[in-house]
Structure formats: C-alpha cells, structure tokens
Amino acid sequence: MTIQWFPGHMTRARRQIQDKLKLIDLAIELMDARIPISSRNPMIDEILGSKPRLILLNKADLADPAMTSEWVHRLKKDGVDALPIDSISGTNVKEIIPHCKQLLAEKREAQIRKGMKPRPIRALIVGIPNVGKSTLINRLAGRKAAITGDRPGVTKGQQWIRIGGELELLDTPGILWPKFEDQEVGARLAAIGSIRDEILHPEDIAFYVIRYMIQHYPEALSDRYELEGLPKEVSEPEPVIEVMEMIGRRRGCLQSGGKVNLEKASALFLKDLRAGKMGRISLEHPGD
C-alpha cells in the first residue's frame, strides 16, 4: 500500500502561510489526539520557523485518555505547550485563549510597560485536512464563521475570523506532505479520514486497524461486534481477514453464495471507528 497525496491547492496553501507569517503573533497547530505524530505535518516546523506555537490535540473525546495524557507530557517535556481539546463537544476550548496569552506574556507585558494597549492576538491556525480546524473556529467564534465538513479539503482559501476582542484567527487549508516515507503514517491518516477514501482500498486500511486493535484493544473489538476467540498472532494476513469476515457476517455484509463482501465490511468498520463506536481508541503510542 503506497500513499502519495499532494494536490496543487496544498502547494498554494504552503506559500500563502509563509506570506502571512509576518502578520501573526503565534501559530495554533491542530493534531488529531488519536495519532498526534502521524497527524503532524513535518513541513510545518520548516514553514513556521521560530514562531511561538500552541499545539492542540483535537478530537480528544475519541482518543484513549491515558494515551492522550502521555502525549501531552511528551510534548511539554520537549518544550511545546500542548492542550487536549474537542472542538465538537467544547472540551477545554475555553482554555485556548489563556494559553495563547501565556505564550505571549513577555511581549504583552513589554507593550504595557511602554504605555501601549495590547491589541487582539493574531494567530495562524494550521493542521492537516480533516483535523477539525473549521469546527474549532466556529466553536470559538460562537457562530458559523468557517465552512466545515467530515471530509478533507473543505477549506480552500484563507480567511480572518475575529474571536471576541481578544483573538483574531487566520484559517488556512489543510496541508499534507508530498510522500509518506513511513507507510504506517499513511495508514493511520487514512484510518481517521484525513485522506480521501476515493484514492484508497478500504480493505487495506481496515485490516491495518484490526491488526492494531487485536494487539492493543481486543476487548473493544470483541464488544462492538460480539466476537469470540480473537486470534493471538496477527503477523500473517489470514487471521486478520478472518476477523473481518466475522465482522462482515455479524453486520450482514454478504453477497451471493453467502460470501462476505470485504469491501463493504471494511467501509462499515472504518465508519464505526471514525464515529467512536468502538470506544476511545488511539492508534499511536508515544513509545512507538
């Protein structure tokens, strides 16, 4: 499974971000709490340079809370301010502006000493497609200020959104990178829906996630699909395919002759995963 994905609008988005850096005070970078490193574009460091940065682990309500705590600790140990949030439910969203103020405290205090009234913080919000930028902006603004969707590529251009009198956000399109050198990164991104399903084979992605869940979340898999006797060894593809066939039979994904339609079963499985119907699951561990 080889995944390469770099549409032209993502190249333009990168140039647009670089052009706007001089206008902003800090960057707010969204990652998906279920796969923090895989959902972090390595080019962002190069693009943003030394700009102060707040990392938000979004969709934390879908992620394993123990894993999220470990990720926050890891990022803060590396000198990066990190905050787990959920832009849909609003978890910790009210903490974002205080964190931004803290990151810029020295600069703002210097302005006050000079008799200047600090203007609203100008922040650039960046992240890969479908990580929840527009939903977060709408939650912060208390209105539909940005277009949202449950698929990548919804935000096409840049727009400034005022958040009360304290924060101005510059929304940007999601940016992926030219090629995934580590194919597991591509598989994790595909699993959470950050890459369009149309360019993938859902079976490959579903098999990858099932293998991971058998190793790390067997009870969640068994409980959701009422499965018994999950295999212990999943280094070969046959046991994983057998589990998918069990899921397909449970969910009625059958075709003529009583054979399981693996494509249909895989699509159903991925839909359940993305909707959190198997519980709070993380697909990446800080120790990996």
When pLDDT is cut at 50, 70 and 90, the band that residue 129 belongs to is confident
Residue 265: partners with Cβ closer than 8 Å, 6 or more residues away: 206, 244, 245, 247, 248, 251, 253
Q: What is the mean pLDDT of residues 196-206?
A: 83
* CATH (residue range 201-274): 1.10.1580.10
- pTM across the whole model: 0.86
Higher pLDDT pick, 271 / 47: 271
Is the CATH number 3.40.50.300 carried by domain 8-171? yes
> Other C-beta atoms within 10 Å of 246: how many?
19
Whether 262 has a pLDDT exceeding 50, the answer reads yes
Residue recorded with tokens 């249909």: 264
Domain layout of the chain by residue ranges: 8-171, 201-274
Q: Tell me, letter by letter, the H, E, C secondary structure of 77-107.
A: HCCCEEEECCCCCCCCHHHHHHHHHHHCHHH
Tokens of 93: 């969203």
Quick one: pLDDT at residue 253? 95
